[in-house]
Amino acid sequence: MIPKFSIITVSWGHARFMPALFASLDRMTYPKDQVKIWLLDNQSPDDTFAVVRGMLDESGTKTKGGFPCALIKSPTNRGFAGGNNDCMAQALAEGYDWLFLLNPDTEIAPDTLTKLAAAAGDATVGCLQPLMILHPDTDRVNSVGNAIHYLGMSYCDGYRLKRDDPRLAPFLKPRDLVSVSGAAMVLSAPAVREVGMLDEALFAYHEDVELSWRLRLAGWKLRFVPDAVIWHKYEFSRSISKYYWMERNRFLVMLMCYRAATLVLIAPMLLALELGMLPFGIMRGWGREKFRVYGYFLHAKHWRELFVARGRNQKLRKTSDRAVTAGFATIVDYQEISNPILTWIGNPLMTLYWRICRLLLWW
């Protein structure tokens, strides 16, 4: 039986990417009656909705290439999580087997769905990720799966390495992942029905980290499919407001997913990292965002919401923290934010501390 794919894209101000994205979707070789495309416009400040409407047929229900398409205009900005959840709920109701969350600034190879379908036969796999290549630097990698640092940070593995770099060779094979990038996250319908969709409290950033972690807690595997390819027009954002969401959400995800004993175990290094990051953040101009994060956790309402999400995740647990964290990163290895203090002091200290933690972490 050929699996049915829903391809879901949430856009906010991405009109300029729509022609290339839809042109690539129309080149797909997968059977048209087994695919449906959802495009949700999140109250874009540009003309995304009109641009996409102009790329559909006269009925407004199919692309020019004949793929079924639902175009949705959200009355409010629901964020990455809310927008994707709205479409996923519809796709589940319509009986689709796989929910492919695809960023608007991407293009998909014609045979990607065919390659993903070939990897979809294992019923223990809850999520797939294709190989993500940068665009226009198509000789370089965007992600071969994402890393989760034990202190909550996340970054793309293999980022900006050339595809023929020998360091990539061990990663360019089918294998289980620690985390999947939300830019190309292919979710199994049975897995989503069991563990739930993206956590809307996160709104922006780390939603993919939390859902990947939640899936693994529930015993689902995340699988890399290297011969399925998408190209990602990725640009690292240095927006100051981004740091608030990234920092707040990494704390929320750890509090949702770790056992209480693990949180106690990592607390000293977490505090040390905060003491180091605060003056650095002030010097770099995002110190105010750090204080906003601390302020968020002073509200009882937010703790009530957090404990509900934590209860949901812990109730799903079939996997120990020792097993879930076995592949967690001990260093921050991301070119866009590298600096000598991190390389020569921070990373070695974090690595040593985690090695000690692993000796004690038996639960």
Which of 204-218, 312-326, 337-351 shows the lowest mean pLDDT across its residues?
337-351
Across the chain, what does the average pLDDT equal?
94
Q: What is the pLDDT of residue 240?
A: 72
Question: Domain locations in the chain?
Answer: 5-232, 242-360
Q: What is the pLDDT of residue 8?
A: 98
b/e map of 65-99 (b: 16 or more CB within 10 Å)?
eebbbbbeebeeebbbbbbbbbbbebbbeeebbbb
Confidence category of residue 286, pLDDT binned at 50, 70, 90:
confident
Q: Average pLDDT for residues 330-339, to the nearest whole number?
A: 71
Q: DSSP assignment of 74-123, as one string?
A: -SS--HHHHHHHHHHHHHHHTT-SEEEEE-TTEEE-TTHHHHHHHTTT-T
User: Is residue 331 a contact partner of residue 347, using CB atoms and an 8 Å limit?
Assistant: yes
pLDDT of 188 strictly over 80: yes
- The C-alpha atoms of residue 9 and residue 71 are separated, in whole angstroms, by 10
Q: What is the pTM of this model?
A: 0.95
pLDDT of 102 strictly over 60: yes
**40-61 tens-digit pLDDT:** 999 888 999 899 999 999 888 9
Q: Average pLDDT for residues 206-225, to the nearest whole number?
A: 98
**113-130 tens-digit pLDDT:** 999 999 999 999 999 999
pLDDT of 336 strictly over 90: no
pLDDT of 321 strictly over 80: yes
pLDDT of 204 strictly over 90: no
Q: What is the pLDDT of residue 338?
A: 59
CATH H-level superfamily of 5-232: Spore Coat Polysaccharide Biosynthesis Protein SpsA; Chain A (3.90.550.10)
- The C-alpha atoms of residue 83 and residue 9 are separated, in whole angstroms, by 9
b/e map of 181-197 (b: 16 or more CB within 10 Å)?
bbbbbbbbbebbeebbb
